[in-house]
Amino acid sequence: MKALQDLTDRQRQVLDYIVDFWRANDNIPNTREIRDFLEAASQTAALSHLNALIRKGYLERKETEKSRSRFKFTPEFKATLPEYQIRVAFDLALGRSEVVWVKYRFNEDDQIEIVETNITPEQKAV
C-alpha cells in the first residue's frame, strides 16, 4: 500500500472539493469543473492539482476513459473516508412524525453501501 503524502493547503482544498462533489454527485468532477472551482483561466491548473494528488497517493487514473471523469480515489485514500449517517424526519399518513436513519459508506466501486439502518422492510417497499 502506498502511503498518503502531505498536501499543500491548496491541494487539500481541491481534494476537499473533489470529495464533496463526489458525495453529492456520485462521481468525481471533470477537469472543467475543477478549473471552475479554482477560478483558473485554463484546465492546466486543474490537471496540475490532479497530477499532484496522483503523485501523493489520493487519486489514480481509471483504466477506461469512457466514464465522465478519468480519475478515481485510491483504495488507500478511500479507506480514510468516514461513514456517514443521514437522519430524516417525515410525517406518516397517520399524522405522526418518525425519524429514520441510514448509515452508509462508499465501497470500492464508488457505490453507496448501506452499513446500518432503522428502516423496516415495509418502509423500504414504499
Q: Does 96 map to a domain? A: yes
Describe the crossing of helices 44-55 and 9-25 by its angle, rounded to 10 degrees.
100
Which 3 state secondary structure label does DSSP give 77? helix
pTM, full prediction: 0.65
Domain with 61 in it: 9-78
Asked whether residue 37 falls in the same domain as residue 72, the answer is yes
Asked whether residue 13 falls in the same domain as residue 74, the answer is yes
Asked whether residue 89 falls in the same domain as residue 69, the answer is no
Asked whether residue 90 falls in the same domain as residue 43, the answer is no
pLDDT in tens, the chain (126 residues): 456 789 999 999 999 999 888 877 778 898 999 999 999 998 999 999 999 999 999 998 887 656 566 888 887 887 777 666 566 665 656 666 666 677 777 777 767 777 777 777 666 555
Query: What pLDDT is recorded for position 122?
Result: 66
Which amino acid would we find at residue 99?
V
Residue 104's nearest CA partner among 118, 123, 83 is 83
Query: What pLDDT is recorded for position 1?
Result: 47
Domain count for the chain: 2
**Which residue, 59, 78, 97, sits at the end of a domain?**
78
Q: Does 53 map to a domain? A: yes
| Residues 28 and 69: beta-carbon distance below 8 Å | yes
**CATH number of domain containing 68:** 1.10.10.10
Q: Does 1 map to a domain? A: no
Asked whether residue 55 falls in the same domain as residue 69, the answer is yes
Could you give the CA distance from residue 24 to residue 19 in angstroms, rounded to a whole number?
9
